[in-house]
Structure 1
Amino acid sequence: MIVGFDYGSANCAVGVWLEGEVVQLALGKNSNYLPSTLYAYDRDLIAQAVYFGLPQSLKADYAKLRSSQLARAIQVRHELDLTATEQAVFVGEKAIEAYLDMPEEGFYVRSPKSFLGASGLRAEQVALFEDIVTLMMQHVKVIVDTQLQQKGLSPATHAMIGRPVNFQGIGGEQSNQQAEAILSVAAKRAGFDEVKFLFEPIAAGMDFEATLTENANVLVVDVGGGTTDCSLVKMGPSLQTKQDRSQDFYGHTGQRVGGNDLDIALAMHGFMPSFGSQSHMLDGKPMPSNIFWNAVAVNDISAQRDFYQLSTKKLIDALIKDAKQPELIKRLQVLHANQMSFQVVRQAELTKMALSDAPSHKAAIDFIEAGLTIEVTEPQFEQAIESSLDKVSQLMQQAMTSPQAQSEQVTTPDIVYITGGTARSPAIYNQIAKVYPQASVVVGDHFGSVTAGLTRTAQQAFKG
């Protein structure tokens, strides 16, 4: 069976083509989406969980590659008093629940896709991300195959997987190749026979194209959880049946700025003042800002590593003694001691979502201090994410000034098609609409358009 697989920074989704239309399969309880999160009691247990889920033909080679991790996993199970079959690694909502239950223990990763193209990853780090992605894909494939079997269909064997234009802001094509290689290895280990990749904004555009009644130059703006991607595409009813669409794709830009970055920015500028980020020392000097940024930079491996070092604990202890408002810095001390960075950023995410429907929101931070709430208004949110919004505008303009767009004399899009979960925010929508006010602005399915486009495109890609 051919599927479209949106392995997203925030959520995963899978679509199949049934009776002439895209059908999204349910990956969670009453939901078509699986949160892109993983929690393990110990990171070496991830390799063991991957091994258990591998096709039999791949187990021997994998066991050689991960011999040390698999040996360590047996020891860890003994130390943690876990049976050989007791679940020790969790994915999706269950991962979130396990983390919130024991935030100071275990290994938790949110939005692993955001790390895949990171520069300077050591071989063992690449291996770890291969295992994280593999385990998540294994989990998804089991769910998908079960539902396909219930419909009397064969298991998923071919997948069109979405990818951002650029996985990282730095590293260029080398980073993209590294990330794509990780996804390819993971998909094969999860049991897919063949995979292909498609830019996510193009996938979203291909779904939108099916609704057009005349040809148009469409600027697709996909603001996802980890990246923002823009594609300028000529599309319409007379172009849908073309086998080669390369000449219709005028320009692509992308950068690692998405919902995760907005959450972190809001956590920094909206929440961290209540942890002392804008307070002063007894001598009048301002607090060092870097420690607060590292506390919430959950998509930056080095920042989180620095924050949870012993030296940071000692620095926080010293800051409490020298602070004019030590009670604020003590909140940072609690955050550090209990490893609650993800919980703080999660509250920022919930605040962002709430501000899509209300002018202000009170975030409950009572896991830090009983009764602690932080109110954030929509203008405060817009100010906190201003630099990110500027990057989105720049990406749109870069796509419009590509060499092919200029050769076709396309200076303004006829339509701006907005998709991606983060685009639900009025602040994001308003910023996008301002850049090309003369264009018609269409808001698509915030979550399903990429999946639908991948599923549509997959039918031709694997059968053609």
Structure 2
Amino acid sequence: MYIGFDYGTANCSVAVMEDSKPKLLPLENNNQYIPSTLCAPTRESVSEYLYRFMGIKPSNSIGEQVLRRAMALNREEDIEVVAGDLQFGQAALELYLNDPEEVYYVKSPKSFLGANGLRDGQISFFEDLVCAMMVNIKRTAEQSLQQDIVSTVIGRPVNFQGIGGDSANQQAEGILSQAAKRAGFKNVCFQFEPVAAGLEYESTLTADKTVLVVDIGGGTTDCSLINMGPSFRHLSDRSASLLAHSGQRVGGNDLDIHLAFKQLMPQFGLGSKTLRGIDMPFNQFWNPIAINNVAAQTEFYSDANLRALEKLRHDAADPQLLSRLIHVYHETLGYQIIRHAEEAKIALSSHTHHTVNMALMQDLFEVDISAQQLAEAIETPKEKMRDLVIEAMAQSQVKPDAIFMTGGTARSPILRQCIEQQLPNIPIVSGSYFGSVTAGLARWGECCFG
């Protein structure tokens, strides 16, 4: 049995082929999409839980060292890891929101996998994170199917990072592949996410077309220009029909981060000054919400930075704002701020104004955001997405017959208008914003394992 597996930045989903059509499987409370989140009592609990309660051994000596260190730290802190301690998806989010200070919460670990400068221990830990999520999904899918799943096609972006090139891609794909094999998949192959989405759109065509697939997900934007249609549909080797690819780590998370920075972080001191009239340092307001940047998160939540924040509060003209930022530090609230920004972004796709209500300690405040302010806040990531379309067109020098937009972030009218302006008079079509990649991966599974 094989599945198509979209291990996404925002959500994960899997599909099987049933009666020659992809069928997405329920993964959490009958929902076909499970948020890409994990929650545990401590960081060290993840590796111990994976070993003790999921029965997954480390893949190498580095993994064994990570596990031994984790178990030792848990004993030292008098933390007993018990069944049910590791939560996934919406359950993980709710656990974090109920008590953010007392848990270890991770959203979108896929964003970290291609990061530069990761040490062997960090790579091994990320492999544990991904493996735990994959085990949960695989076992849930097997329970639904009442069959063992032994093979999978996993989607991957064209580029996991904006920098790092092939080495970053190899590192990220290596983590995903090793995690999948530890999770119990005997056969693992990969397909570009925009190509997979294109395969699903191709199933609806009655004539051959050249299609630009623009996949704007939570973590990456990818473009593929593909010749597709009835003449290509049953080919096991599609390399000749793939005309161009471009991709970068810029997606829905980046829109949320930029909106949070511009519109929410002033409530935490961004733009304020010290008593001597000096601007507060930029990084102190960017790093806590840069949830897709390992280095930024590590720097903000370090012991040394707490001392720096305390000094900034002492020197601040408005110390109350810095007190809010210190509260973010103590309770690891960066994810909550981004969640507010994401909700605002979604609301502003169909409304002209949205009010964010925030509560910190006994401190209640509101932030009104307009659709115009959203457009201004996301200008930088929007331009990066536009440049990827330009790059794909430059590679191929071929004008598409249609543009197929997919990915949750592709619903944004601002981004759709941007692409319309770049490629005028070319029809833009959409299928399932969330399910096209998963369905296409299942279709590609027929070529790999059918």
> Normalization by structure 2: what TM-score?
0.95
Residue equivalent to 2:321: 328
Q: Does structure 1 residue 425 correspond to structure 2 residue 412?
A: yes
Deviates more, 1:25-34 or 1:331-340: 331-340
Between stretches 286-295 and 138-147, larger displacement belongs to: 286-295
Aligned residue number for residue 69 of structure 1 = 67
The corresponding residue for 1:181 is 174
Shift of 1:74: 6.3
Q: 1:368 to 1:455 in 2, by over 3 A?
A: farther
Aligned partner of residue 163 in structure 2, secondary structure: coil
The alpha carbon displacement at 1:53 in A equals 5.5
Match of 1:158 in 2: 151
What is the match of residue 111 of structure 1? 108
SS in 2 for 1:104: helix
Q: Matches of residues 191-210 of structure 1 in structure 2 within 5 Å? A: 191-210=184-203
Instruction: Give how far 1:172 is off.
Output: 0.6
Cα deviation, residue 92, structure 1:
1.2
- Taking the TM superposition and a 5 Å limit, the aligned residue runs for 1:377-388 are 377-388=370-381
Q: Is the 8 A contact 1:47 1:70 kept in 2?
A: no
TM-superposed deviation, 1:384: 0.6
Q: Secondary structure at the match of 1:371?
A: strand
2:387 is matched with 394
Could you tell me which amino acid in structure 2 is paired with residue 132 of structure 1?
A: L
What is the alpha-carbon distance in structure 2 between the residues aligned to residue 28 and residue 217 of structure 1?
Answer: 37
Is residue 39–residue 107 contact of structure 1 (8 Å, CA) maintained in 2? Answer: yes
Q: Deviations over 1:191-225 (max 9, x none)?
A: 11101100000000110011112211111000001
Query: Aligned residue for 2:130?
Result: 133
* Equivalent in 118, 139, 142 of residue 139 of structure 2: 142
Structure 1: gaps (5+ residues)? none
> Distance in 2 between the 1:248 and 1:303 partners?
40
- String of CA shifts for 1:428-453, please: whole Å, max 9, x gaps: 22212221012111122110000010
Select which of 260, 275, 278 maps to 2:271: 278
Unmatched 5+ residue regions in structure 2? none
Identity %: 44
Change over 3 Å in CA distance of 1:296–1:85 after alignment to 2 = closer
Following superposition, the deviation at residue 66 of structure 1 comes to 1.7
Q: Does 2:365 correspond to 1:367?
A: no
Q: In the alignment, which residue of structure 1 is the partner of 2:9? A: 9
Partner-residue secondary structure (3-state), 2:201: helix
Structure 1 stretch displaced more, 332-341 or 189-198: 332-341
Check the 8 A contact 1:44/1:70 in 2, yes or no. Answer: no
State the alpha-carbon separation in 2 of the partners of residues 65 and 326 from structure 1.
44
Partner of 2:311: 318
Q: Tell me if 1:264 matches 2:257.
A: yes
Deviation for aligned residue 1:63: 8.5
Q: Distance in 2 between matches of 1:33 and 1:291?
A: 34
User: Deviations 1:263-303 (Å, cap 9, x if unpaired)?
Assistant: 11111011011212112233333222121111211111111
Q: Does 1:439 align with 2:426?
A: yes
Contact 1:225–1:258 (CA under 8 A) maintained in structure 2: yes
Cα displacement string for residues 351-391 of structure 1 (whole angstroms, at most 9, x for unaligned residues) = 11221222121112113553212121111111111010000
Q: 2:229 maps to which residue?
A: 236
Aligned to 1:33: 33
Show the counterpart of 1:93: 90
Matched residue SS, 1:66: helix
**Aligned pair in 2 of structure 1 residues 308, 19: CA closer, same or farther (>3 Å)?**
same
Q: Which amino acid aligns with 2:344?
A: T
Q: Cα gap change, 1:63/1:51 in structure 2, threshold over 3 Å: closer, same or farther?
A: farther
Structure 2 counterpart of 1:354: 347
* TM alignment of 1:49-60, pairs within 5 A: 49-52=49-52, 59=57
Kept in 1, the 8 Å contact 2:180–2:188? The answer is yes
Please tell me whether residue 414 in structure 1 is matched to residue 401 in structure 2. Answer: yes
- Relative distance call for 1:79 and 1:279 in structure 2 (3 A) is closer
Residue pair 2:5, 2:13 contacting (<8 A) in 1 also: yes
| The 10-residue stretch of structure 1 (183-192 or 100-109) with the greater mean CA deviation from structure 2 | 100-109
C-alpha distance in 2, partners of 1:53/1:147?
21
* Contact map agreement 1:335 1:368 (CA 8 A) in 2: no
Partner amino acid, structure 2, of 1:93? Q
> Quick one: distance in 1 between partners of 2:402 and 2:78?
57
- Aligned partner of residue 188 in structure 2, secondary structure: strand
Letter of the 1:9 partner, please give it: T
SS in 1 for 2:280: coil
Give the whole-Å Cα distance in 2 for the aligned partners of 1:119 and 1:272.
27
Q: CA contact under 8 A between 2:272 and 2:317: conserved in structure 1? A: yes
Contact 2:17–2:443 (CA<8 Å) still a contact in 1? yes
Q: Is the 8 A contact 2:206 2:229 kept in 1?
A: yes
The DSSP-based 3-state class of the residue aligned with 2:205 is coil
CA RMSD of aligned residues (A): 1.9
CA contact (8 A) 1:63 1:70 kept: no
Q: Distance in 2 between matches of 1:78 and 1:289?
A: 37
CA distance in structure 1 between the partners assigned to 2:330 and 2:440 by the alignment:
44
| Change over 3 Å in CA distance of 1:260–1:120 after alignment to 2 | same
Counting matched residue pairs gives: 450
Q: Counterpart of 2:123 in 1: which secondary structure? A: helix
Q: What TM-score comes out, normalization by structure 1 length? A: 0.92
Corresponding residue for residue 376 of structure 1? 369
Cα pair 2:59 2:182 within 8 Å, conserved: no
Is the contact between residue 34 and residue 93 of structure 1 (CA under 8 Å) also seen in structure 2?
Answer: yes
Q: CA deviation at 1:256?
A: 0.3
User: Using a 3 Å threshold, how does the CA distance of structure 1 residues 210 and 341 change in structure 2: closer, same or farther?
Assistant: same
Q: Are the counterparts in 2 of residues 331 and 369 from structure 1 also a CA contact under 8 Å?
A: no
Q: Which residue of 2 aligns with 1:123?
A: 120
